[in-house]
Amino acid sequence: MPCRSDKHSARVPKLELFAGRLGIVVALLALAAVLAALKPNFLSAANLTNVVRQVSINGILAVGVTAVLLTGGVDLSLGALVALTGVVAAHLAHPGAYPLLVPIAAGILAGAACGAVNGAVVTRCGVPSFIATLGMMTAARGLALVLSDGRPVSNMSPALTRLAGDVAGIPVPALILAAVAAAVAWMLRNLRLGRYLYAVGGNEQAARAAGIRVQGVKFAAYLLCGALAGLAGVVLAARITTGQPNAGVAYELDAIAAVVIGGTRLSGGVGGVGGTLLGVLLMGVIGNGLDLLNVPSYYQQIVKGVIIIGAVWFDRCHQASGKERGV
């Protein structure tokens, strides 16, 4: 059946509540209803807390890469950066070594530094982002192996592992994701840089003609994305109480998938953080639900793929052709 979006354009203004992603919201609710019917404890407070905890790392990465995708670029180095920054943080987080802030800041700075290199290679050297960040993916993974000597870096101070714990029943990683998402959403909406990200991704020539420093805007996107990957790396290290040089394999694909499910265009210029959070949540619920239902591992992968494609297709059918920019 062909997907005709023009018919539904009249409905759009009402959908802004769901960041303009009715299709994904419907898919999410339908999935939740099915899971609740099959497994009543899906809706238990403990399990929903679980889902929120489990999506946090992918969420932080996805919010960061949203900025890069908006400019029309891509960042494939995220998973390797998670490993590298986790190893860096774990090295500085042995009990009694440094105050808690040191490993956290070092992880974020290491991520930001790699992001800056990505940005510089893309904007100064003119290397396509796919290749630049692919190179960074390999190099950062190698650096993580060198720094850790190929072994997990353990003996982590409980102060840092508490970053993966709960505060008043709410998982700390989820609170971090909420803060990050709110800050980036606000930036996209209210700061000049945020609006420029859309402009650069929408039409680079026009943006340049309008006097926007296109290269600077792109650089900022990679820098932000790298810093958030660093934050995600620190949170992951806290969650698994070690810095793992082999951690984070293919995390970039999960993050990019979530962003695209959430309506951000791979070609740039359209999308936003609200949709990204919905995408992250949808992927998290799928993973959690398949485990609860004990779907065999081979089939899990098939089901996951089908649901993701189905959700995006359904969503695109209910998209307005004109007003797509939701934040």
Partner 1 sequence: MKRACVLLLAVLCGCGRSGDQGARDARPVIGVSLLNLSNEFVVTLREAMASHAKELNVRLIVNDAQRSPERQVQQVETFIAQRVNAIVLNPCEVEASSPAVQKALAAGIPIVNVNSETKAVPSAFVGSRDEESARLGMAYIADRLKGRGGVLIMEGYMGQAAQIKRGEGAREVLAKNPGLRLLAAQTAEWDRAKAVTLMENWLQAYGSSIQAVFAQNDEMAMGALLALERAGRKKDVVVVGVDAIADALQAVRDGRLDATVFQDGLGQGRGAIDAALRLIRKEPVEKATFIPFRLVTQENVASFIR
Interface with partner 1 by CB under 8 A: which residues? 39, 41-42, 44, 46-47, 50, 53-54, 57, 145, 150-152, 154, 165, 236, 239-242, 244, 246-249, 287-288, 291-292, 294, 296-298, 300
Cα distance between residue 230 and residue 64, in whole Å:
10
CB of 109 to partner 1, least distance (A): 22
CB of 220 to partner 1, least distance (A): 29
CB of 236 to partner 1, least distance (A): 6
Give whichever of 133 and 288 is closer to partner 1, judged by the CB atom.
288
CB of 250 to partner 1, least distance (A): 10
Give whichever of 12 and 247 is closer to partner 1, judged by the CB atom.
247
Give whichever of 86 and 115 is closer to partner 1, judged by the CB atom.
86
CB of 129 to partner 1, least distance (A): 26
Contact residues for 137 (Cβ-Cβ < 8 A; gap 6+)? 76, 77, 79, 80, 252
Q: Residues 55, 284: contact at Cβ < 8 Å? A: yes
CB of 7 to partner 1, least distance (A): 40
Give whichever of 22 and 57 is closer to partner 1, judged by the CB atom.
57
Q: What are phi and psi of 156, to 5 degrees?
A: -95, 140
Q: Which amino acid is located at 182 in the chain? A: A
Cα distance between residue 220 and residue 67, in whole Å:
9
Question: CA nearest 126: which of 219, 193, 224, 206?
Answer: 219
Cα distance between residue 212 and residue 199, in whole Å:
9
Cα distance between residue 193 and residue 127, in whole Å:
23
Give whichever of 114 and 236 is closer to partner 1, judged by the CB atom.
236
Q: Residues 70, 190: contact at Cβ < 8 Å? A: no
Cα distance between residue 96 and residue 224, in whole Å:
30
CB of 121 to partner 1, least distance (A): 23
Could you give the 3-state DSSP secondary structure of residue 243? strand
Tokens of 288: 């959690």
Tokens of 322: 């004109």
